[in-house]
A and B are shown apart, each in its own frame.
Chain A
Amino acid sequence: MADQVLNVENLSIDIPLSGDILHAVDGISISVNKGETLCIVGESGCGKSLTSLAIMDLLPQKAVRTVDKLELNGSSILNYSDRQMSDVRGSKIGMIFQEPMTSLNPSFTVENQMVETLARHRNIRGKEAKKLAVQMLEKVGITPAKQRLKQYPHQLSGGLRQRVMIAMTLLCEPELIIADEPTTALDVTIQAQILELLTRLQADFNTGLILITHDLGVVAKSADRVAVMYAGQIVEEGSVYEIFDNPSHPYTRGLLSCIPVPGKIKRGEHLGSIPGMVPSLIGEFTECRFAGRWGDTLGKEEENIAHLTPIEGVDYAFLVHGTTDHVVRFCCNSCLKKSKSKISKGVN
């Protein structure tokens, strides 16, 4: 697939922890095409941030990454040395973090940092570098750009800093951008602006974008495709419309029922909830990961029952009936039974 920017197959991340092993991520596969936004959505501890670090080979020393395929634009970066990965990071894969306060160096001006990035990755210096920096700041909506160049990070607001971060990331014209909760630390009125900016720039530059978030509102606004992560596994993935129209995994449904939406529920009535807690992922897993979390807003009404077609060769993975790419994965048989899904015998 010429259009595919990133292909990750069967990624697992294990972290040794006081004598035992934490299986933080368990055999997930993701792919992103040019110009496409994939949202990885999940709550704390599901492994989404670790996944992005694994792609960039930035996992903490103790963590062990095992992956079958890790391809950037068709070529494998699986066995790249530190030096090679260092070249890839920044120039081919750009990363935007959650805290704009800590990802910019407080001791250097904006200009300094942008020019350094250009020198490092594209070998552009001096006047030309400065010109490009100004252009990029304007592209991300910072005006007057020339004045801002001379400022230090602490003189800029959170929203501005994040725009600078985005500008810096785009300077190297990366093929893939990974943004980890880029708007969580920002004010609500700025959030929407930054998300729109990301989407627009992504279309302009035709980059792939992986947007990691816990906020389904962000997903609804920005995603083309969605991967829902729970306890280290991707439990559901598909196009954004499919996921919101036909959520088929109990976790996805639970998540959607939890969100307060103006006008949806009468004031004072209970919001949906997912009882219990995420299970500990330390050691071998014998139970269902969703045990005890079913609650009573799931699987009761007829309309909640998903119609699924098994996928050949993959245990507990199903295509939601009538689609070609909306996939649901259950962690075990007990989960599958409890979901009361209707399984039709089908091909593929």
Chain B
Amino acid sequence: MAEVMIDAKNIVKDFKISKGLFRGKETLRAVDGVSLQVLRGEILAIVGESGCGKTTLAKILLGLLQQDSGTVELCGSKIEQIPRLELAKMVQPIFQDPYSSLNPRKSIGSIITLPMRVQGEKNSDVWMKKALQTMDLVGLPARMFDQYPNQLSGGQRQRVAIARALINSPKIVICDEPTSALDVSVQSQILNLLNDLREELNLTYVIISHNLAVVEHMATQVAVMYFGEKVEEAETDQLFSNPQHSYTKTLLNSILSPDPRQRNKKN
């Protein structure tokens, strides 16, 4: 029986939006009763378009945002009860924008070793060694250790973000649109890397994406979100061959296939 890494039940998250100077506040329900379970080694993809609540859900699963109701358990423990540093060792994020996920004033080495230093590692030799090991793992040359983000390309920056996320060997990695901001040729490099790392380090992924082709290639399970609700969840092959919900069907129809002869076909 595989280990349950993430067990989220009935998550609800509201945001209060001010409607104007004297018109008070209106409540926006970003996540509306979503439940998810992810087993060790799985890759769950959460798909949906802008405003469906997927990023909010990701932040809740990372422990960065607290849900208004519902429970989240990571590896069996309630997320509120996991101390900050423990949580950091369990779950790490990879963000969409490689240009805003690295502090422009810090060197690459400093960025990648931050998780170790925060955990209390005082020996700089230990950081260096682990950092160089991780950089090698993600395909970054050692000389980049002393460089700054503005000297790196988008793909290289994303690799730095991956190295930072993995240096402390987390169990779960939550990727929020990890390749949407990258060129196609770089995207495939990063996706291949993510696949390799998952196998090598026995990671569990939650991948948030609006790109269904990427989802089909990477994920084992897919959950579809629409306006804060989870409208469908199934194994990838099942979802793609036999979608149940109308929104899922609309999403699948919108995939633009790189085959000009398919341009007028509708699934």
Contact = CB atoms under 8 A, between A and B. Distances in A.
A277 B258 contact: no
A268 B184 CA distance: 18
B243 interface: no
Interface of A: 43-44, 158, 187-189, 191-192, 195, 214-223, 240-241, 244, 254-256, 258-263, 265, 267-268, 270-275, 277
Interface residues of B, number: 40
Contacts of B50: 158, 187
B153 A277 contact: yes
Nearest to B189: A273
A43 B259 contact: no
Given A188-B210, A277-B155, A265 B260 contact: no
B262 interface: yes
Given A220-B262, A262-B213, A262-B216, A273 B250 contact: no
Interface in B231-252: 236, 240, 250-251
B213 A255 contact: no
A273 B192 CA distance: 9
Instruction: Give the top 3 A-B pairs by smallest Cβ distance, nearest first.
Output: A217-B256, A260-B217, A258-B188
A261 B258 contact: yes
Nearest to A191: B254
Nearest to B214: A260
A187 B210 contact: yes
A189 B255 contact: no
A191 B256 contact: yes
Contacts of A277: 153, 155
A244 B154 CA distance: 27
B192 A188 contact: no
Nearest to B196: A270
B189 A260 contact: no
9 contacts: A188-B254, A189-B250, A195-B256, A220-B258, A221-B260, A244-B258, A244-B260, A254-B185, A270-B192
B139 to A, nearest CB: 10
B188 A273 contact: yes
A273 B185 contact: yes
A216 B251 CA distance: 18
A189 B217 contact: no
A214 B185 CA distance: 10
A219 B262 CA distance: 12
B218 A261 contact: no
B80 interface: no
Nearest to A260: B217
Given A187-B49, A189-B49, A265-B217, A215 B256 contact: yes
A216 B192 contact: no
Nearest to A189: B254
B251 A261 contact: no
Contacts of B185: 43, 254-255, 258, 273-274
Interface in B253-267: 253-263
Contacts of A273: 185, 188-189, 192
B75 interface: no
Nearest to B252: A262
B251 A189 contact: yes
Contacts of B259: 220, 244
B212 interface: yes
Given A43-B185, A44-B183, A192-B254, A262 B212 contact: yes
Nearest to B185: A274
